Structure 1
Amino acid sequence: MSATRREVLARSGALGAGIAFSGALSELFAGTAAAADGPGRFGSGHSGHGPLVPDPDGLLDLPRGFRYQVLSREGDRLRSGEGAVPGNHDGMAAFGGGAGRVHLVRNHENRADGRVPVPTVKGLTYDPAGKGGCTVLTLDGHGEVRGERVGIAGTAVNCAGGPTPWRTWLTCEETEDRAGTNGYAKDHGFIFEVDPVDPHRTGAVPLTAMGRFQHEAVAVDPGRGIVYETEDAFERPFGLFYRFLPDRPLGGTGSLRAGGRLQAMRVPDVPDLSSIQETGTAFDRIEWVDVPDPQATGTPIRFQDFGRKGITHAQKLEGCYWGGRCVYFVSSFARSAEGSAADHHGQIWRYDPDARRLTLVIVFGPATDVTLPGESPDNICLAPGGGLMVCEDGDGAQHVFGVTRRGEVYAVARNAQNTGTPEEPEWGEFAGVTFSPDGRTMYVNCYTPGTTFAVTGPWRRGS
């Protein structure tokens, strides 16, 4: 994916020494105590934590003063005895428990050919042919792993998702495969809810009213209970930005099963968001159009007839999060050669539901040199006290990097696990970056070989 982009940039001379941003960087940190200092908080004004130090064990390079703990690795045994730790570690969220406990819910983006599938468990398996799902790690107050079990199984291509205000995890299938495709016994392309404390409470029930498409991420409006959803379609027409209006908003676990309306966003006279290049560009009177067939029984949603005014598409709609009074969503890149209206290296959009206004707040680019952070940013996490953490998913070296409120980029971690050869090294992407409720520990996944890390250190010195 990123090799083509890197080659194009190299030929055009666009490879540089850092990421350029345009727009109001404060937008990235909306809703956080960005100016506050204190234990586990950012905002001291220092950019970064110094150079990364090579790890003698060849797992994770970190700045001096930081250390990591391997919580879980692909192929090891689950502590529950249910089978092996699955592979393809992806989206993740951390939930607090009593006595300092933390529950980590971790997605596994396994396709039909996944080499280490999520073990099937009675009462937690949707489709026995599906190899994706979630696992849940339980950590004690000292950060030690005390439990590791299946949260949901029998799903497919569990990429990202998002937490709910009632402390459950919504895991998203990034596929549209129907029953009979790739050996599946049931249709896929749904959202499922996982209770990190008691997965049997939520079971393996698809939230069908929320749509069947190539889901990426979700964010819940904590005041209204509206769920916003991104679609990462791999070919044109590209994905849509959705909202789900539940019949029982903010009703707690199980409320999303009560049904509701799925709508897609229409920006008047803008069929493709990539055509907008100027930060600060805003559109009022955003329209939300009912999806004709949320189950996509005959036609994928993005192909459906939304009337003579059409609908608004965008390439690589991925991250989605709630900040302040608005929802933010990310388009990781757009390429005219692949069918987008224009090219860009990443956008962040803000939708204000009170004003019904959509604004382009950040534009990324160009990409950086392979030895520096910044190639193909993907998963995004707001740090507890006012920083942004971004997982890298591209070619060459892979990093987690931070972004300060002033737009400075600094490396936080580098994957040292070479899955290639000494002559042609390869490193797996990072995914699922998230913080403990007290802000003292960053958790992050290496996609392959599947590894979950806990990183501690002097976080308060960074911004």
Structure 2
Amino acid sequence: MHPETPNTPPLSELAERRLSRRTAMAGGLATAAGAFFGTAAPAAADALGGAGGAAAHGPRRRLLGFEPVEPGVADEVVLPDGYEYHVLFPWGHPIVPSGPAFSEDAGNSAADQARQAGDHHDGMWYFPLRGSRSGLLCVNHEATTERLLHTGGEADWTPEKTAKSMAAHGVSVIEVEQGRRGEWRLAESRYARRVTMSTPAEITGPAAGHALMRTGADPEGVRVLGTLNNCASGPTPWHTYLTCEETTNKYFYPGEEAPPAGSPQERYGIGSESPYPWYTTDERFDMRAEPNEYLRFGWVVEVDPFDPESAPKKRTALGRMEHENAVVVRGRRGEAVVYMGDDSQFDYFYKFVGAEPIGRARAHGRSPLDEGTLYVARFEEDGSGAWLPLVHGGPGLTEADGFADQAEVLVYTRLAADAAGATPMDRPEWCTVQPGTGAVFFTCTNNTARTETVNPANPRLDNRYGHIMKIDEHRDPAAEKFDWDVFLLAGDEASGATVPPDQAFGSPDGLWFDADGRLWIQTDGTQPQVDGADQNNQMLAADTRRGDIRRFLVGPPDCEITGITATPDGRSLFVNIQHPGDSGTPEDPRAGSNWPDFSRTGRPRSATIVITREDGGVIGG
């Protein structure tokens, strides 16, 4: 069991309290709910009008210039009129044009896969080379659908299948360029590489070398092979890429007996079953042989896309959890501030504040992410909040409490956050920072396990549709206090949603502000039904100044919409379609979807698509 706050009043009363405060955070529930329903008071409308990065770019204007699409179930990517997409980088596509071609029967070898796009594309980022015409695209590969990854699926598991599955995880770095006719393609590039579960990586920060990080293969505890379950991501101000290790527990097998209740293994989701049979051919995934190996995953990993010879760095100062994404901003003193969510029911929202300015750290050969303070969020009922430091020796974090040193606080971040008294959230996932205001938005995707108690920041029982939160630190990212509000409640009218019924959506996951201040919302999970039918996942755009929200994209069946980045001019938008047709089988791989190839002999493929406007304009405007 995780700590809960006491029972709270009904949602209507909580919402009324937020409204009565007329929140200082423009675009919060107090303004957004009213604006979405066309009932915002003039004062609230004024507050909305003052928010967002677009306000700083010139006169207030409407940010959303497209007509929304309808929800749907088609085996296609649906976009508004005037938009088109191109499949740029599907699973199995070589990372350079001269690489090994994709085999439709999934017959590519592990060696081929290590030079091709991995599976389950997730977070990504575009790093310009020639501005908006060419750049490096870093793409995460979160997981694999084993029954579609291999010819014959999971039957007759072999070391080769383990190797191929491991090669389909990790990160791709590719160089993309736009041709004269506007079409995007991959280039032969000296930067192109794959980071997989066989790539040597370094462990840095307070946990490096600790006894908990040592294994038979690495008695010093500073080196590890690979990065795993790479979910979302974020760029740094010094032009590197942060890739986040999320649900790593399912790859490690503890034996027939599940870990004891209350143990660190149980708190991190280690179970008696593993859906990945890697442990049958590689003992480092068998916890009976290597009990510490699983502790070397679940970190934020830094990759330098401009140096293909550099080793990825696991930055342990940022804590170990189910990292969803990492957003880096500069604090007032020039230090790195990183916002992160832990994607699990009843887990927490975190922030790291670097110990020194970024420039000083780098000038002395130090990482801005290796020294600093990790905090976890507590949300109070009155709309205030506090960042609680997770520092050894603090309340609940002493040796008597079971934490021998700071490294143990970080290796067991979840237990430290429990002890500190953080607020359990409804699956905190992506976060993003609003241009111009510095407000932090983050998604709480859903939580159907919240059946007995609620707290003000998670105001619904059986929260199957999720919500989006907003934190205001009053332009001081390093602050230890903040104000908060519920930006919106997803779902349908029956669930008390604060979005218009015709733009209903559920399970917000991916979240990103573009340079003009549009808030892009991507979904993964339960969607409101239409005429009794389940709907495909979708992507919407919101103008937080006006309370306007519109459905921009609907994906194919079984997919998650995730990963979003754009060229600097905003005219090309990259989006990932993850695991379309995930319900397919080895006997009938196209049972769920045949996107994107629509080949009679192929299978569905996760893919990066690039979206452009037919008139060449800014996406969404």
Q: What TM-score, normalized by structure 2, do the two folds share?
A: 0.57
Indicate how the Cα distance of structure 1 residues 37 and 306 shifts in structure 2: closer, same or farther if over 3 A, else same. closer
Report the alpha carbon displacement of residue 150 of structure 1 after superposing the two structures with TM. Answer: 3.1
Report the alpha carbon displacement of residue 170 of structure 1 after superposing the two structures with TM. Answer: 0.4
**Aligned equivalent of 1:49, options 58, 66, 85:** 66
Instruction: State yes or no: 1:400 paired with 2:539.
Output: yes
Partner residue in 2 for 1:94: 126
The one-letter code matched in structure 1 to 2:413 is I
1:235-246 to structure 2, matched below 5 A, reads 235-236=345-346, 238-246=347-355
The one-letter code matched in structure 1 to 2:142 is E
Partner residue in 1 for 2:344: 234
CA deviations on 1:402-452 (whole Å, 9 max, x unpaired) are 11231222121221x3xxxxxxxx330110112111111111000113111
2:309 is paired with a residue whose SS is helix
**Aligned equivalent of 1:194, options 274, 299, 303:** 303
CA contact (8 A) 1:399 1:413 kept: yes
Report the alpha carbon displacement of residue 334 of structure 1 after superposing the two structures with TM. Answer: 4.6
RMSD, aligned CA: 4.0
Indicate how the Cα distance of structure 1 residues 133 and 391 shifts in structure 2: closer, same or farther if over 3 A, else same. same
Report the alpha carbon displacement of residue 247 of structure 1 after superposing the two structures with TM. Answer: 5.6
Indicate how the Cα distance of structure 1 residues 427 and 147 shifts in structure 2: closer, same or farther if over 3 A, else same. farther
CA contact (8 A) 2:427 2:447 kept: yes
Unpaired runs of 5+ residues, structure 2, are 1-26, 33-46, 100-113, 151-164, 198-226, 255-277, 286-292, 398-402, 494-500, 527-534, 580-604
Partner residue in 1 for 2:593: none
CA deviations on 1:194-216 (whole Å, 9 max, x unpaired) are 12222323x13322232222111
CA contact (8 A) 1:112 1:156 kept: no
Partner residue in 1 for 2:200: none
CA deviations on 1:92-145 (whole Å, 9 max, x unpaired) are 11111136322211111116959659xxxxxxxxxx957521112212243332
Partner residue in 1 for 2:203: none
1:351-430 to structure 2, matched below 5 A, reads 351-352=472-473, 353=476, 356-368=480-492, 374-395=505-526, 396-404=535-543, 405-415=545-555, 417=556, 426-430=557-561
Partner residue in 2 for 1:337: 451
Partner residue in 2 for 1:317: 428
Instruction: State yes or no: 1:134 paired with 2:244.
Output: no
Distance 1:168 1:28 in 2: 34
CA contact (8 A) 2:390 2:417 kept: no
The one-letter code matched in structure 2 to 1:407 is G
1:189 is paired with a residue whose SS is coil
Report the alpha carbon displacement of residue 297 of structure 1 after superposing the two structures with TM. Answer: 8.4
Distance 1:111 1:210 in 2: 26
2:53 is paired with a residue whose SS is coil
CA deviations on 1:151-200 (whole Å, 9 max, x unpaired) are 42211110112110011110010135497665345421111111222232
Looking at secondary structure, tell me which structure has more strand per residue.
1
Distance 1:175 1:226 in 2: 25
Q: Which moved more, 1:167-176 or 1:192-201?
A: 192-201
**Aligned equivalent of 2:391, options 280, 283, 290:** 290
Partner residue in 1 for 2:137: 104
2:62 is paired with a residue whose SS is coil
Instruction: State yes or no: 1:207 paired with 2:331.
Output: no
Count residues in correspondence. 409
Partner residue in 2 for 1:62: 79
CA contact (8 A) 2:519 2:541 kept: yes
Partner residue in 2 for 1:439: 570
Distance 2:451 2:196 in 1: 37
The one-letter code matched in structure 1 to 2:135 is V
Max radius of gyration: which structure? 2
Looking at secondary structure, tell me which structure has more helix per residue.
2
CA contact (8 A) 2:301 2:313 kept: yes
Indicate how the Cα distance of structure 1 residues 287 and 234 shifts in structure 2: closer, same or farther if over 3 A, else same. closer
Distance 2:298 2:522 in 1: 24
CA contact (8 A) 2:439 2:470 kept: no
CA deviations on 1:311-350 (whole Å, 9 max, x unpaired) are 3332311122233445443333455228754426313232
Indicate how the Cα distance of structure 1 residues 446 and 382 shifts in structure 2: closer, same or farther if over 3 A, else same. same
Distance 1:67 1:360 in 2: 38
Partner residue in 1 for 2:376: 265
1:98 is paired with a residue whose SS is coil
The one-letter code matched in structure 2 to 1:450 is S
Indicate how the Cα distance of structure 1 residues 373 and 133 shifts in structure 2: closer, same or farther if over 3 A, else same. farther
Partner residue in 2 for 1:14: none
1:200 is paired with a residue whose SS is coil
Distance 2:444 2:430 in 1: 8
CA contact (8 A) 2:391 2:409 kept: no
Indicate how the Cα distance of structure 1 residues 116 and 137 shifts in structure 2: closer, same or farther if over 3 A, else same. farther
Q: Which moved more, 1:426-435 or 1:96-105?
A: 96-105
The one-letter code matched in structure 2 to 1:397 is N
Q: What TM-score, normalized by structure 1, do the two folds share?
A: 0.75
Identity across the alignment (%): 23
Unpaired runs of 5+ residues, structure 1, are 1-19, 118-127, 418-425
Indicate how the Cα distance of structure 1 residues 147 and 320 shifts in structure 2: closer, same or farther if over 3 A, else same. farther
Indicate how the Cα distance of structure 1 residues 433 and 111 shifts in structure 2: closer, same or farther if over 3 A, else same. same
Relative contact order higher in (CA < 8 Å, ≥ 6 apart):
1
The one-letter code matched in structure 2 to 1:199 is P
